[in-house]
Structure 1
Amino acid sequence: MQPATPEHAETLDDIARALVQYRAHGGLVSYAEIAARISAYRQESGAAAHQASVAKTTVYDAFRTGRARIDPDLIADIVRALGADDETTQAWRTRAVNAHRSVPGAAPAASETATVPTASAVAAAPPATKAKPSAPPTFIAPVLSFRQMLLPVATLMTAAIMINVIGAGAVTFLRLPLYLDMIGTAWAAIALGPWYGAAVGILSNVASIGVNSHDAIPFVLVNVVGALVWGYGARSFGMARSLRRYLSLNVIVAIVCTLVALPIILVLFGGMTGHEADGITDSLRSIGAPQPLAVFVSDLLISLTDKVFSGFLALGLLISSASWVPQPPTPTIWSIRD
């Protein structure tokens, strides 16, 4: 991103993306904590309690792209809550005002016409004798460096691989009618991105050799495809914006994984893998169902239960890791609850 100039005017989306970077650089302070800091600071600056209060959903919305308008004072208050000094806070407010004015036909933001003073307006207003013409701000929110990202990413991926291996081992030793080998895959795919989840799936299958012999290796493609569907579904198609959408996403993952697993089971294992699903396959064959149909139905039944269960276990992990892992670029059912 470049600073706002006559040749390159910042957009509202530029401001939102810069806020995301600034929050990440500042330690991923939760939206609830940012809202609390803003409310406290506004009250200290003389605003009444009902005027000072700001909801965490309002704060979260400031970080979203696709907005038609923004509140420059709220933007300034957010960066102040993240530790910015007065000069930086005022620069952010100026950026937000300029970006809002660049929207064709946009009405003035509330903070540009309101007479009620807010915390950022009180703190950032310079003395009248020192007023200077507005200039394009030069401050650009820093991008999170590779070193800063390395530890949280490596920690999450390692934990995800261990969860997959432990889940697969539990199924083998307890003979559970589930798979449980993609909980960590879902967690990594949604929290970090689909290809991070795919990497977790590949490494998990390799690590599971000691638990499931070499039988896990052919199913690495199932893990990879599941990661891509979970990751792109949640991060690119907004299928984690509500519980209903998230449930649908897990069902889609189950169906896709079954379609990928079907030829593997039929060609490499002759229709029987030694899993509890074989019992369902035998029952269906006994009533005359052809083998491909019997294998498909048995695997789908197990997969539906497994992927929904695994997906919601991953949701718990997503909620617990929201404070130290960068948020997905679209609204999610856990991102405004941290």
Structure 2
Amino acid sequence: MKKQSMWSLRLSTAALVLIPVAVGVNYIGKLLAQLLKLPLWLDSIGTVLAAMLGGPIVGALAGAINNIIYGFTDPISFVYAITSVAIGLAVGILFYKGYISSWGKAIVAGLIIGLVATVISTPLNIGFWGGQTGNVWGDALFAFILANTDSTWLASLLDELVVDVPDKLLVVLISFGIFKGLPRNVVQLYNNNEKIETLD
């Protein structure tokens, strides 16, 4: 027996089913945020959950496929696949290392994921949207900071930060709650953190 590598890509039936389910969960989260007119996106719950269950590569695949599908109706989503891949990778790594094993750790992980998303999305926002996020609260802050500092980079960074950090914090907490509520036999289908039988 040996411990399965964090980077093992075991595309079992369970993993292959998990990816479209994750995309569907992402869509439901995004739709819910829009219906409730929340100043958040909530469109990466499935990606985070897939990374917790299947590891960083499965999480990254779920995130990328999610944005590719969105991209057919909103082409700019193709670009933000980079951010979704980074979220999947970061969550998968943190979970594998045991940094998302309690509510307290999930809060810290959510803040870290929010910062990761902010750092990657800010240059994309500047390149494609003049620095804005399209979020009402964030863009209001963008306009205020830009008017007072004349710094597009600072305005864009803070615009993304005030939306991404609370969004990813809530997403990680929701995902962790779902994970804890899953039946043990479902979690064991993926079992990235435990020892597995091998033939060598």
> Is 2:166 the partner of 1:320?
no
Unaligned 5+ runs, structure 2: 5-9, 195-200
Name the structure, 1 or 2, with higher relative contact order (CA <8 Å, separation 6+): 2
What RMSD over aligned residues (CA atoms) do the two structures have, in Å?
Answer: 2.4
- Secondary structure (helix, strand or coil) at the match of 2:178 reads helix
- Counterpart residue type for residue 193 of structure 1: G
> Is 2:97 the partner of 1:224?
no
**Pairwise CA distance, 1:216:** 1.4
Contact 1:281–1:298 under 8 Å retained in 2: yes
Partner of 1:249: 109
Instruction: Normalising by structure 2, report the TM-score.
Output: 0.82
Change (3 A) 1:315 1:200: same
Moved runs in structure 1, 4+ residues, more than 6 A?
Answer: none
State which structure, 1 or 2, has the greater radius of gyration over its C-alpha atoms: 1
Change (3 A) 1:207 1:239: same
Change (3 A) 1:173 1:285: farther
Distance in 1 separating the partners of 2:79 and 2:163: 18
Distance in 2 separating the partners of 1:261 and 1:281: 14
Instruction: Normalising by structure 1, report the TM-score.
Output: 0.50
1:61-80 counterparts in 2 under 5 A? Answer: none
**Pairwise CA distance, 1:160:** 1.0
**Pairwise CA distance, 1:175:** 4.4
> Is 2:45 the partner of 1:164?
no
TM-superposition CA deviations, 1:85-135 (whole Å, max 9, x none): xxxxxxxxxxxxxxxxxxxxxxxxxxxxxxxxxxxxxxxxxxxxxxxxxxx
Aligned residue-pair number: 185
Higher helix proportion (structure 1 or 2): 2
Contact 1:265–1:273 under 8 Å retained in 2: yes
Partner of 2:197: none
Distance in 2 separating the partners of 1:283 and 1:269: 17
> Is 2:69 the partner of 1:234?
no
Contact 1:205–1:220 under 8 Å retained in 2: yes
Partner of 2:193: 329
Contact 1:165–1:208 under 8 Å retained in 2: no
Judge which range, 272-281 or 189-198, deviates more: 272-281
Judge which range, 282-291 or 219-228, deviates more: 282-291
Partner of 1:115: none
Unaligned 5+ runs, structure 1: 2-13, 21-145, 331-338
Change (3 A) 1:316 1:245: closer
Change (3 A) 1:175 1:285: farther
